[in-house]
Amino acid sequence: MHVGRLAWRTPTGAMLWEIWGRHKLSFLWQGAALAASVFFAQWKEHGASKDVAPLLIMASCICFLGAYLYLLTSFAYIEVDARRVQLGFPGRLLLKPLSTARLVLAPMLFGGLVIVTVFAIWTELVLRHFGSVATSDLLLISAVLLSFFWWMQALAWSLPLLKGRVLVLLVVGLIHLLVAIPPQMPVRISSGCQWRILAALLVSAVPAAWIGLKGMREGRWEGPSRISVLWGRLGSARAQGARKSFGSAFGAQFWLEWRRQGLLLPGISGGMALLMVPGILTGLKWLGAGAGPQDEIQRMMLILPLLVLPLVLSLLMGSALARFDPLHSMGELPLYIAVRPMTNGGFVTAKLAMALATSVLTWLVMTAAFLCVALMGKETLLSKAGLVTPYGPVAFITGCVPGLLLLVIWTWRNLVAGMGAGLTGRTWIIVAFIFSRVLLLDALILLVATAASNVNFRQALLHWLTGILTVCLAAKLAVSIAAFAWGLRRNAITARAVGWIAGGWSVCGLLVAGYAGRVCNSIRQPDLWIWVALGGLLILPLADLAIAPLALAWNRHR
């Protein structure tokens, strides 16, 4: 079998080449991210001050995690069957004259080897610089990663055959979570037990994958699960009832966007919050009702994950928002969208509106989770805790509203910030954008770290900071105005859409600046206001949104 310039003599070789052929560009980025991770670790090791060290560790871990997650998906050998709308083994390979054992073993063994090796190399080059880690713990983590990877493959390949597949997924996920609890945690299973469970998981993963794949090859798929059949019937009844037409093309497009992605962020955030709330309540009860400053900080640390969760999730999901149909490849604009008589700006505006609606819904769900924590843990949280201001709960809640609004804006910002890159439909731009954001984050960490350790640099930076931020803001405005003007000239966007986007940005900017002013005054640091306000205006997306219709035009009219 000849593939490119290489002559693979075995089907296994060809299967493995496919991984390389598909992902070679992203492997370059992954290599760069891993190199950055090593760089930060080396810096931390050689000459970084104690203040800077945590930032460098964070930067190194961000680089590694981003690259590693991508590596897991690259080697998983899992594809989406667009017709059945489900994950599975690449369908084309099921018909090849190869034994099921070979189909199972090649991607599992090779993928497993790669992910364990990369982790081992990272451990040796990076993790060891962050503190002493016992070899037994590293072995345990490696085994958990391998088991997780193999079970991810086994389940994805055989999911259609499994009855109660949601339950199976949950059970396997929970077992891995239990096994992965580090030794420092108060609640954990014994080491011997951990290893016995892991051994069982590892030994059974390959046969499980083999049985699943063999079943798929023999056509033993029993059709959709009962839950999806029931869901389908409910949807059918709903569809028959819904005869009302959409008021406008925008309404129809918003509906499409909402149906595809609208409930994803609130659903995942709410589901995870549901899992986290019992743990938070247990933690609050364990902390007791102490009113000291340390108690407050510990309580805040317990609740913090609920605040951070939607922000992190929205950051991760942002790049997917640009897609019109998740079943289409990244570079493809579905024809049923492309041929609709709507301006590119119209499509973008529908996406922005959906992102705003999903952000609002997410924070309504999270507010419900907070209220749940506040009410169920009232003895420890709302009675004597410092969360209640001296002015009483009503004033506290009123004060929270602008904060909540800011969180909605921040979530929305995370969702739409990568839209311009995503709408181009060019994979290399999307990958470059993601990695450039990671690098930007690392560069900022680097800047802060240097400023923290070098007094002269810090003073110079603070002296010039207002000017730097103003220049950046001016550049952002200039790019935005140019992009809007170009878009208007090319009919990519309407003046009305420009008005909405620019107006929305101004209102959000004023809110950010105003809120920053209040906060800075209340903490008696009025000098900080200009930096916070300028930083806020820089973070709020405008150039991205101005470029988005042009990016879509570039994709739609190739």
Partner 1 sequence: MKFPSPSSAEAVIAVSGLSRHFGPKAALDDVSVFVPRGSVFGLVGENGAGKTTLIKHLLGSLKAQTGSVRVFGLDPVLDPVGVLGRVGYLSERRDLPSWMRVGEFMRYTQAFYPGWDEQYAGQLLEQFQLDPAQRIKTQSQGQQAKTGLLTSLAYRPDLLILDEPSSGLDPVVRRDILEAIIRMVAEEGRTVLFSSHLLDEVERVADHVIMLQRGRVVLNGRTEEVRRGHILAVLAFAKPPAAAPVVAGAHAVAGYGSEWRVLFGGSRLELETAAASVGARVVEERTPTLDEILVARAGGKGS
Contact set with partner 1 (CB under 8 A): 82-85, 232, 235-236, 239-240, 242-243, 245-249, 251-253, 255-256, 259-260, 325, 327, 334-336, 338-344, 490-491, 556-558
Question: Closer CB to partner 1, residue 134 or residue 335?
Answer: 335
CB of 346 to partner 1, least distance (A): 8
CB of 262 to partner 1, least distance (A): 13
C-alpha to C-alpha distance for 292 and 304, rounded to whole angstroms: 18
Q: Identify any residues that bridge with 7 across adjacent strands, giving them in sequence order.
A: 2
Question: Closer CB to partner 1, residue 338 or residue 479?
Answer: 338
What does the block give as tokens for 75?
């080697």
C-alpha to C-alpha distance for 103 and 96, rounded to whole angstroms: 9
Task: Tell the burial category of 167 from Cβ atoms under 10 Å away from its Cβ (0-12, 13-18, 19+).
Answer: exposed
CB of 238 to partner 1, least distance (A): 9
Q: Identify any residues that bridge with 86 across adjacent strands, giving them in sequence order.
A: 81
C-alpha to C-alpha distance for 75 and 111, rounded to whole angstroms: 5
CB of 339 to partner 1, least distance (A): 5
C-alpha to C-alpha distance for 334 and 340, rounded to whole angstroms: 11
CB within 8 A of 526, min separation 6: which ones? 517, 520
Question: Closer CB to partner 1, residue 4 or residue 341?
Answer: 341
Question: Closer CB to partner 1, residue 245 or residue 522?
Answer: 245
CB of 550 to partner 1, least distance (A): 13
Question: Closer CB to partner 1, residue 244 or residue 524?
Answer: 244
By the 8 A CB rule, do 399 and 387 touch? no
Task: Tell the burial category of 477 from Cβ atoms under 10 Å away from its Cβ (0-12, 13-18, 19+).
Answer: middle
By the 8 A CB rule, do 106 and 98 touch? no
Question: Closer CB to partner 1, residue 256 or residue 520?
Answer: 256
Residue 164: strand, helix, or coil: coil
Question: Closer CB to partner 1, residue 174 or residue 234?
Answer: 234
By the 8 A CB rule, do 156 and 87 touch? yes
By the 8 A CB rule, do 62 and 312 touch? no
What does the block give as tokens for 130?
């962050």
Question: Closer CB to partner 1, residue 80 or residue 315?
Answer: 80
The position carrying tokens 């109660």 is 164
CB of 253 to partner 1, least distance (A): 8
Q: What is the CA radius of gyration of the chain?
A: 26
Cα dist. 423→253, 330, 351 in Å? 16, 9, 11
Question: Closer CB to partner 1, residue 251 or residue 393?
Answer: 251
Question: Closer CB to partner 1, residue 135 or residue 240?
Answer: 240
C-alpha to C-alpha distance for 517 and 512, rounded to whole angstroms: 9
DSSP at 259: I
